[in-house]
Amino acid sequence: MNFDYTLAFAKAQDQADPLADLRNDFLFPKQHGKPFIYLCGNSLGLQPKAAREVVEQQMTNWENLAVEGWFEGEEPWMFYHKKLKSLMAPIVGASPLEVCPMNTLTVNLHLLMVSFYKPQPGKFKIIMEAGAFPSDQYAIESQVRFHGFDPKEAIVEISPRAGEYTLRTADIVAEIEAAGSEIALVLFGGVNYFSGQWFDMEAITKAGHGVGALVGFDLAHAAGNVPLKLHDWGVDFACWCSYKYQNSGPGGISGIFVHEQHFADKSLNRFAGWWGYQEAERFKMEKGFIPEAGADGWQVSCTQVMPMALYYASLKIFEKAGFMEALRAKSEALTGYLIFIVNEVNKELGEEKFKVITPAESADRGAQVSIIAKSKGKEIFQQLVAHNVLGDWREPNVIRLSPVPLYNSFEDVFKTGALMLKISKEIFA
């Protein structure tokens, strides 16, 4: 697409956007009586207008049915998670049997590592990206220690080359092949939270399997953001939060994926709980854990009805959008336009005040553009917020802006750039 640095161009793109009406399905925060230009969906997605209604319905069920709500009413809570599974599956490229909503992200990461990190002498290493989100770092380090290994020896972190901000796929593959048979697990993010880089998950999976390792992904910044094909790529497991690009509310329910090839593997360890027990016999309360078929067998505690209802409200909007294909096309255009606008701002300022570190190639990024502010970045960011543009600040000097295709527009992007230019001229005058 050829971009133009004008408001007329942005408005024309919005008028031609077949997904433009989805914006009306969300509530925008306000300041000074005006809605924000909200570019922080990479941290917390907006509230769907339907969220209050679906939760109110469950509150009514609780009021009228109390404990009988588990088995009575139009949507018994015992089976409520199943109505989400068919909506989750297309977002991550899986079958409904391979996914399940449950718990929160890091809890699920630990539960899945119980099954898929099986270290032994000579084969105990974990490959991960350097600069992964801290929660992943802490989880992996604690799992390694739990198994009696030294994190300094067991964890191999892959860093960008000197002077670069993102990883090259060839370097990732080379590191995996170099560690070879010592690797027990390759565990990457799908999209890096800091740079916005979308890793070549298919290539990473192939490389990991090539050396006999299992491969998993934390999809916190990928699920609902980029099109995924977890089943076809042969990914062994994955987990994600749903409160970023999937708009399920603060601390919203997590989701897991387990490839069907592992369902019959009785050698897998798992930390079991009664909700993972086979559904038909669950209430007999018998000893001896027998897992329910599919990803549901990794459940531990009973259905979290309210968080699942919030997730459901957003998933229905994804269904309305046709899931990921159309959203992805718009996302590539929005981020491409934002990168173009930032470059135009630099031209207007006469020097590179803002450096985009997110990959220029659309195939290598999601709905996020990370920008290094070379000076006075925090002041510029605070002024953006003061003027109703809400993005995200990361120390020491990065502004993250996330134009989400479900609810952001080309006009949002243009106005953000125009405000960056105005603020910068005032600050650097």
* For range 206-233, the mean pLDDT: 98
Contact criterion met (CB below 8 Å) for 175 and 213: no
Q: What are phi and psi of 9, to 5 degrees?
A: -65, -45
> How far, rounded to the nearest angstrom, does the alpha carbon of residue 382 sit from its chain's CA centroid?
26
Identify the pLDDT of residue 377.
Answer: 95
Q: Which of 331, 339, 228 is nearest to 22 (CA)?
A: 331
Q: Which two tokens stand for residue 269?
A: 């360890």
List, in order of start, the domains of the chain with CATH numbers: 7-48+324-427 (3.90.1150.10), 80-320 (3.40.640.10)
**Using one digit for the tens of pLDDT, what is the confidence trace for 327-363?**
999 999 999 999 999 999 999 999 999 999 999 999 9
Rounded to whole angstroms, the Cα distance separating 39 from 416 reads 9
Identify the pLDDT of residue 1.
Answer: 79
Identify the pLDDT of residue 429.
Answer: 79
Query: Does the pLDDT at position 134 exceed 90?
Result: yes
Identify the pLDDT of residue 321.
Answer: 97
Q: Which of 207, 221, 132, 219 is nearest to 176 (CA)?
A: 207
Rounded to whole angstroms, the Cα distance separating 31 from 39 reads 15
- Rg for the chain, CA atoms, rounded: 23
* For range 245-255, the mean pLDDT: 98
* For range 150-154, the mean pLDDT: 97
Identify the pLDDT of residue 47.
Answer: 98
Q: What is the percent of the chain with per-residue pLDDT over 90, rounded to a whole number?
A: 98
Query: Does the pLDDT at position 63 exceed 90?
Result: yes
C-alpha distance from residue 40 to each of 129, 277, 364, 382 (Å): 23, 39, 20, 14
| pLDDT band, very low/low/confident/very high, at 40 (cuts 50, 70, 90) | very high
Contact criterion met (CB below 8 Å) for 367 and 328: no
Q: Which of 77, 118, 57 is nearest to 301 (CA)?
A: 77
Identify the pLDDT of residue 23.
Answer: 98
Q: What is the percent of the chain with per-residue pLDDT over 70, rounded to a whole number?
A: 100
Q: Which residue in this structure is represented by tokens 């490959």? A: 127
Q: Which long-range contacts (CB under 8 A, 24 or more apart) does 22-25 make?
A: 22/317, 22/320, 22/321, 22/406, 22/407, 23/406, 23/407, 23/408, 23/409, 24/49, 25/49, 25/50, 25/317, 25/320, 25/406, 25/407
Query: Does the pLDDT at position 24 exceed 90?
Result: yes
Burial letters 332-354, b for 16+ CB under 10 A, else e? bbbbbbbbbbbbbbbeeeeeebb
C-alpha distance from residue 412 to each of 194, 252, 321, 403, 405 (Å): 22, 26, 20, 8, 11
Query: Does the pLDDT at position 91 exceed 90?
Result: yes
| pLDDT band, very low/low/confident/very high, at 380 (cuts 50, 70, 90) | very high
Q: Nearest 10 degrees: CA dihedral of 245, 209, 204, 118?
A: 60
Rounded to whole angstroms, the Cα distance separating 118 from 180 reads 16
- Of 117 and 267, the structure prediction assigns the larger pLDDT to 117
Q: Nearest 10 degrees: CA dihedral of 23, 26, 31, 32?
A: 70
